[in-house]
Amino acid sequence: MAAPGARGCSLAGLLPAQTSLEYALLDAVTQEEKDSLVYQYLQKVDGWEQDLSVPEFPEGLEWLNTGEPISVYKDLCGKVVILDFFTYCCINCIHLLPDLHALEHTYSDKDGLLIVGVHSAKFPNEKVLDNIKSAVLRYNITHPVVNDADASLWQELEVSCWPTLVILGPRGNMLFSLIGEGHKDKLFLYTSMALKYYKDRGQIRDNKIEVKLYKDSLPPSPLLFPGKVTVDHVSNRLVIADTGHHRILVVWKNGEIQYSIGGPNPGRKDGIFSESTFNSPQGVAIRNNIIYVADTENHLIRKIDLEAEMVSTVAGIGIQGTDKEGGAQGEEQPISSPWDVVFGTSGM
C-alpha cells in the first residue's frame, strides 16, 4: 500500500482516512454536521506532506467531446475533477450516468467542476473507438471521454470495479473514491464541499475546457438508437421506441407517423400527448389501442391510451429500486431499469 505523499499512488492511500470519514457520517444527523465532517476531512487530506496524485493521461489516447487531448496538470489545474472509470456495456455504469448528469446541471465548468469519463474496457470490442462513440451518443454523455484502451490509468491507481469515481482537487490530488453505483448523496456532498474548500483558499480557477460534443458533428436522424418495435396487426400500425429521442412513435405501415409522444429531451411527466415525456424507453407492447412502455431510465412502466391520448404510470416510483421481494401495488412498487414488456396469456 502506498503511503500518503508518494506521487502516482493508488486509491489505497485514501482508504484509512475516507473510511474514518464515512463511519463518522453515519452518526451525523444534520446537513451542517455532514458538511463540517467533510470539510475537516479535506483539511486533513490537503495538509498531508505530499499529495496523493494521479498520473498524467498517457500521450496518444483517443478523446471524445473535446477539441484537444486534456492534461491533468495543465488543463485541469485549478479545478475539482471527477474521473469516472466506466465501460459502456456495464449496467452499473449506466445507472451512474443520471447522477453525473444531475451533478453537471448543478455545477458547471465555471463553478470549477469538470467530469472526465475514463473508458476502461472489460472486453476487446469495448476498446474500439467507434463503439465508444456510439455509447457516448446513446447515453448523451456531454463531458470529455478518453479511451484508455490499455487501462493504464486504471492499473496505476489500482482501480478494481466498474464504475469507480475518483474526485481530484485542483492540484491533481486525490480526495475521494466512490466504488459502484448508488452513492448520489455522497457524490454531491463530497463534490460541493471540495468546491467550497478550495474556493475558500482561492485555488479554483475559471479556465474553461473546450468541449466539442461528438453528437454535434453528426447529421440529424429521424430515429436514434431505437430500442424496440412491435406490430399492431389489427390496425396495421407499428409502435417504435425511439430510445435516443426519448419518445414513442405510432406509425402506419406506409411510414406515416400517426403519433409522436414525448421527446426530444428526457423527462418524466404523465398527461396529454403534447406534455408527456419519457427517458430512454425500450420495450413496447400494444393491444386494443393501449400501449405499455418500459420507460427504462425513469424506472417506470407507462401506459399510453391512444383513444384518450393520455399517458399514465402503472408501475414504479420514478427512481431506481432495490426491492428484491416486491408485493407492492402499481406506483408504490420500486423497479429497476425495466427493459421490455409483453402480454401474458391473460393480457394486462
Query: Can you tell me whether residue 111 is helix, strand or coil?
Result: helix
Domains of the chain, start order: 11-216 (3.40.30.10), 228-332 (2.120.10.30)
pLDDT tens digits, the chain, 348 residues: what are they? 233 334 447 899 999 999 999 999 999 999 999 999 999 999 999 999 999 999 999 999 999 999 899 999 999 999 999 999 999 999 999 999 999 999 999 998 889 999 999 999 999 999 999 999 999 999 999 999 999 999 999 999 999 999 999 999 999 999 999 999 999 999 999 999 999 999 999 999 988 888 899 999 889 899 999 999 999 999 999 999 999 999 999 999 899 999 999 999 999 999 999 999 999 999 999 999 999 999 999 999 999 999 999 999 999 999 998 888 888 999 999 999 999 999 987 544
pTM (two decimals) = 0.86
Cα–Cα distances in Å, from 15 out to 20, 22, 52?
9, 10, 12
DSSP assignments along 18-86, one per residue: HHHHHHHHHH--SHHHHHHHHHHHHHHHHTSSS--BPPPPPTT-EEESBSS---TTTTSTTSEEEEEEE
CA 291/CA 287 separation, integer angstroms: 7
